[in-house]
């Protein structure tokens, strides 16, 4: 039960509301039902009905081995569409900063990869409650083990040293900072030049790409040699 317990302990130390149960069908669904009064984190050891975008589902791993979480932010403004690429970049940057991972990449619009294998996924949902917007960032990351899928990997794959609580909680702190910065950036409608540069690098490092992107536009659209794809259409 290690990963969820570490996350719960970290959240309490940060003065965040944290809902922790050993089994939650879907943390994003639970976050929608929970009546938040401040920023919060929903975390569980096991998520049997985890959701991805559209009809996609999250394939469960052994209890306590993955970060199964939803990060809930309450804002008086609705983030602009660039929030989605900014969240991907927030997760990517936090992983890189703390774990110095080789071959880490993003796959638009919501997946994190190491080499050609999927490490995790993101599901963003926004609900309006009067004058307040409930912004839910669902994040699942395989940490200590991976599901029984040939296309999946996990953070500790090939590592000779055991993951420590302090190292993982350092990642959570960096992630929380990055998500907060993503929310600030998404008050506007345009990605900064630095964001676009970092996104282009993160996306083009994915070896599964059939064609490299040549540019990222200010609205997050992806430019290929002969066409441009809106991030919202992915």
- Domain range summary for the chain, segments of one domain joined by +: 2-189
Cα-Cα end-to-end distance for the chain: 35
Residue 1: predicted pLDDT: 64
Residue 52: predicted pLDDT: 55
Residue 59: predicted pLDDT: 62
**pLDDT tens digit at each of 234 positions of the chain:** 699 999 999 999 999 999 999 999 999 999 998 887 889 999 999 998 766 554 555 566 788 899 999 999 999 999 999 999 999 999 999 999 999 998 999 999 999 999 999 999 999 999 988 889 999 999 999 999 998 889 999 999 988 899 999 999 999 999 999 999 999 999 999 999 999 999 999 999 999 999 999 999 999 999 999 999 999 898
Contacts of residue 63, Cβ cutoff 8 Å, sequence gap at least 6: 1, 22, 45, 46
CA distances from 131 to 13, 127, 188 (A): 29, 11, 19
CA distances from 83 to 24, 137, 195, 227 (A): 26, 10, 11, 23
Q: What is the DSSP string of 92-142?
A: HHHHHHHH--TTEEEETTTEEEETTEEEEEEEEEEEEETTEEEEEEEEEEE
CA distances from 189 to 49, 123, 135, 163, 185 (A): 33, 20, 17, 38, 8
Tell the CATH topology of 2-189.
BirA Bifunctional Protein; domain 2 (3.30.930)
Output the six-digit token pair for 137: 């960032």
Residue 58: predicted pLDDT: 58
Residue 166: predicted pLDDT: 97
- Nearest partner of 23 among 64, 57, 59, judged by Cα: 64
Residues facing residue 129 across a β-bridge: 132
What's the length of the chain?
Answer: 234
Residue 31: predicted pLDDT: 93
Longest dimension (CA), the chain: 50
Residue 161 is given by DSSP the state S
């Amino acid at each position: 039960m290690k990963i969820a317990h570490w996350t719960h302990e970290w959240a309490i130390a940060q003065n965040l509301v944290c809902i922790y149960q050993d089994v939650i069908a879907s943390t994003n669904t639970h976050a929608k039902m929970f009546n938040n009064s401040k920023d919060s984190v929903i975390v569980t050891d096991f998520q049997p009905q985890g959701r991805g975008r559209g009809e996609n589902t999250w394939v469960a791993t052994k209890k306590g081995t993955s970060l199964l979480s939803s990060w809930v932010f309450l804002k008086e403004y609705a983030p602009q569409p660039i929030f989605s690429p900014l969240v991907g970049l927030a997760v990517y940057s936090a992983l890189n900063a703390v774990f110095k991972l080789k071959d880490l990449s993003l796959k638009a619009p919501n997946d994190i990869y190491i080499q050609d294998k999927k490490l995790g996924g993101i599901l963003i949902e926004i609900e309006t409650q009067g004058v307040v917007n409930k912004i839910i960032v669902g994040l699942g990351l395989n940490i200590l083990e991976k599901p029984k899928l040939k296309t999946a990997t996990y953070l500790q794959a090939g590592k000779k040293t055991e993951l420590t609580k302090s190292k993982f909680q350092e990642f959570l702190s960096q992630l929380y900072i990055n998500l907060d910065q993503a929310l600030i950036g998404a008050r506007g409608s345009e990605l900064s030049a630095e964001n676009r540069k970092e996104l282009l690098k993160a996306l083009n490092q994915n070896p599964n790409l059939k064609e490299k992107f040549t540019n990222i536009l200010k609205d997050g659209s992806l430019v290929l040699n002969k066409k441009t794809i809106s991030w919202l259409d992915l």
